[in-house]
Amino acid sequence: MTRTITIDPVTRIEGHAKITLMLDDSGQVEDARFHVTEFRGFEKFCEGRNFWEMPGITARICGICPISHLLASAKTGDAILGVRIPPTAAKLRRMLNWAQIVQSHALSFFHLSSPDLLLGMDSDPALRNVVGLIQKHPDIARKGIRLRKFGQDTIRILGGRSVHPAWTVPGGVREPLSAENRDRIKDMLPEAFDTIDLALTLLKDASAGYEDEAAHYGNFPSLYMGLVTPEGGLEHYDGLLRVVDSGGKILEPGLEPARYREIIGEAVEPWTYLKFPYYKPYAYSGPSYYKMGMYRVGPLARLNVCEFAGTPKADEELRAFRQLAPQGRAVNTAFHYHYARLIEILFALEKIAETVEDPHILDERVRSRADVNQLVGVGVSEAPRGTLFHEYHVNEDGILQKVNLIIATGQNNLAMNRTVQQIARHHINGNGGKLTEGVLNRMEHGIRLYDPCLSCSTHAAGKMPMHVEVVAANGEVVDEIIRD
Amino acid sequence: MRSSATDEAVLVIGYGNSLRRDDGAGLILAEKIAAAWRRHGRAVTLFTSHQLEPEMAEEIAAAGAGIVLFVDAAATTAVGPHDIRLAPVVADEHSPSLGHHFSPALLMLYARSLYGYEGAAWLLTIPGYDFDHGEGLSEPTQKLLAAFSPAELPF
């Protein structure tokens, strides 16, 4: 017997994202706030668990970047054990992280942003979506899926499954890489290289039509933070924390990541559950004390803080990327996150290709074993969206007493707000605060440049609809749009 | 278009986060349905996942099943208390506006448009009452799960 059949929509939404644009007395955009209204205390939930469980638990914060949490957590576990993991284990973990960068950046570029980029911001809204992309460029849509699949399959080959693999553990990894699995990864590489070459060509061809967006989408001075190798090269797994300013001046050349609290503070605001991490040395006293410490993380920041990539093709693209800013200065336009993302995919593929040829990659010593030797551990790695910090405090039995996670999306929070404000000022001022489909799309695109992971940053479940509200100086809502 | 005969091969895709209590109900219900059908000799392929992802479109087409059944949990805070519901999935063009969550409708659009999948697609939704961090289901969701029989499905 059939129970209930209905065509009513059933949602799994729990929270929503909201942008509030505040107008001044003259009707001009004065400020913009990107709110996220869902929150669960993930750090609190972890207290009382054993630190050995944390890679598996924290990886389940998010289905898109579980590897980031897995690696940061395993590295925190390494610190609690007080061990240096075997070199082959570190190489395998790095390969896992690069595979994740490929799959996550491919999702951002091909599935979320390419309809805007390849079809045009002002094209028919009914077609400026994945349907339009499929109609006009079906092969590109398929290649995008295949590139993401390369990343997911590599993760699956290394970790046993693509989401939440339990392969990475404190002390190293559970299993060595077999020759057969190494060859499977190797065989998939040529197609992935072809696709990233195509994506770079598409982006460069499309960019000529986006000079206005490049000038107004998050184009402002800020600080940038990311990991670099001890030599100053592009780094995603280990290394040292570097901070540079928009003029290219190095403020922190190479801070040991475990000392991150010396330079990073976290502010809170009553109107959003996202925290506002800031660079402490630039904070001052006053109600908005933290805003001068705004820094950006993620692909744009990583390319701004490094001196070189360290692989031939990525270095060639990095030289072209640097031409987007006056010599010696940082590339300050968030619109170029797209280009930075593609350069990082290229870099990741080159590094994977290099690693599978490493004569020691099949070594069987992949795990160091120890018990609790330190009561505080910090693990830092570069997630696709930026630097990820895990800090655990444990007792002698390894039971967690306190957990702090600083998520990449949170660190871009100030910059996302500033980007929305900039786009709104450019497109709304002069039309009485009237929202249009095109303006909404541009503000969404402005946020998407940072590829925020709202699951990670707020620990929410389900997708989030967007609610944009324009508020006049007298508090009256003069316009609003809600879009799923 | 293939028919929806009760002996047709089925691809069951259960998704959700098993560390967010009732959000994991879709995974459990998917396993229950797949196990029951297999006991009756039906050809069933089971995927379970934290969330839907674009590459699943290729896998849907490659699985060779005439029916795709998505199984998910839904928040009653959004729609009010309700029973387990079944609805056809209509391919939809909406890309995620900000997050990274793919809907069954978008995934089916990919599967049909890019990989030529022609079978039917349904979404079975179980209500969730508690999406806080933790393992295990709330009592009302557990009761609904226990009471549900795959024989109630029309295919």
Q: Are B124 and B84 a contacting pair, CB within 8 Å?
A: yes
CA nearest to A36, candidates A425, A460, A420: A460
Q: Are A172 and A366 a contacting pair, CB within 8 Å?
A: yes
Q: Which of A186-195, B54-63, B89-98 has the highest mean pLDDT?
A: A186-195
Half-sphere exposure of A180 (CA within 13 A, CB side): 0
Cα–Cα distance, A239 to A384 (Å, whole number): 16
ipTM of the modeled complex: 0.81
What pLDDT was estimated at residue B82?
Answer: 65
Count of residues making up chain B: 155
User: Measured between CB atoms, which of B49, B54, B148 is closest to A145?
Assistant: B54
**Using a CB-CB distance cutoff of 8 angstroms, which residues of chain B are in contact with residue A138?**
113-114
Could you give the angle at the alpha carbon of A59 between the alpha carbons of A58 and A64, nearest 5°?
130
Q: Are A286 and A276 a contacting pair, CB within 8 Å?
A: no
Surface-to-core class of residue A251, CB atoms within 10 Å of its CB (0-12 exposed, 13-18 middle, 19+ buried): middle
Q: Give the distance, in angstroms, between the CA of residue B131 and the centroid of all CA atoms in the same chain.
A: 18
What pLDDT was estimated at residue A9?
Answer: 35
Which DSSP string do the residues of A381-424 spell out, in sequence order?
A: EEETTEEEEEEEEE-TT-BEEEEEEE-HHHHTHHHHHHHHHHHH
What pLDDT was estimated at residue A431?
Answer: 64
What pLDDT was estimated at residue A287?
Answer: 74
Helix (H) or strand (E) holding B104: helix B104-115
CA dihedral A445, A447, A453, A457 (to 10 degrees): -160
Per-residue pLDDT tens over the stretch A425-455? 887 766 666 777 777 778 878 888 898 876 5
The structure tokens listed for A447 are 């946020």
Residue type, A86: P
Cα–Cα distance, A437 to A442 (Å, whole number): 9
Per-residue pLDDT tens over the stretch B112-131? 988 999 999 999 999 888 88
- Tell how strand A466-471 and strand A477-483 pair up: antiparallel
Low-confidence ranges of chain A (pLDDT < 50): 1-15, 38-40, 456-464
Q: Which of A8-22, A112-126, B20-34, B96-110 has the highest mean pLDDT?
A: B20-34
Please judge whether A40 and B23 are an interchain contact, meaning their C-beta atoms are less than 8 angstroms apart.
no
Please judge whether B133 and A11 are an interchain contact, meaning their C-beta atoms are less than 8 angstroms apart.
no
The structure tokens listed for A74 are 């395993």
What pLDDT was estimated at residue B74?
Answer: 84
**Using a CB-CB distance cutoff of 8 angstroms, which residues of chain A are in contact with residue B133?**
40-42, 45, 459
Question: Which residues, in sequence order, are bridge partners of residue B14?
Answer: B48, B71
What pLDDT was estimated at residue A369?
Answer: 95
**Using a CB-CB distance cutoff of 8 angstroms, which residues of chain A are in contact with residue B94?**
129, 484
Measured from the Cβ of residue B19, the count of other Cβ atoms closer than 10 Å reads: 22
Q: Reduced to 3 states, what is the DSSP secondary structure of residue A97?
A: helix
Largest CA distance in chain A: 72
Q: Reduced to 3 states, what is the DSSP secondary structure of residue A19?
A: strand
What pLDDT was estimated at residue A469?
Answer: 75
What pLDDT was estimated at residue B1?
Answer: 36
Q: Are A114 and A203 a contacting pair, CB within 8 Å?
A: no
**Using a CB-CB distance cutoff of 8 angstroms, which residues of chain A are in contact with residue B88?**
7
Measured from the Cβ of residue A289, the count of other Cβ atoms closer than 10 Å reads: 14
Q: Give the distance, in angstroms, between the CA of residue A124 and the centroid of all CA atoms in the same chain.
A: 29
What pLDDT was estimated at residue A5?
Answer: 33
Q: Closest-CA residue in chain B for A5?
A: B86
User: Measured between CB atoms, which of A5, A163, A452 is closest to B86?
Assistant: A5
Cα–Cα distance, A103 to A125 (Å, whole number): 27
* Mean predicted lDDT score pLDDT of chain B: 85
Specify the pTM: 0.89
CA distance A426 to chain B (A): 21
What pLDDT was estimated at residue A458?
Answer: 43
Cα–Cα distance, A419 to A421 (Å, whole number): 5
User: Measured between CB atoms, which of A41, A447, A462 is closest to B101?
Assistant: A462
User: Measured between CB atoms, which of B50, B73, B106 is closest to A164?
Assistant: B50
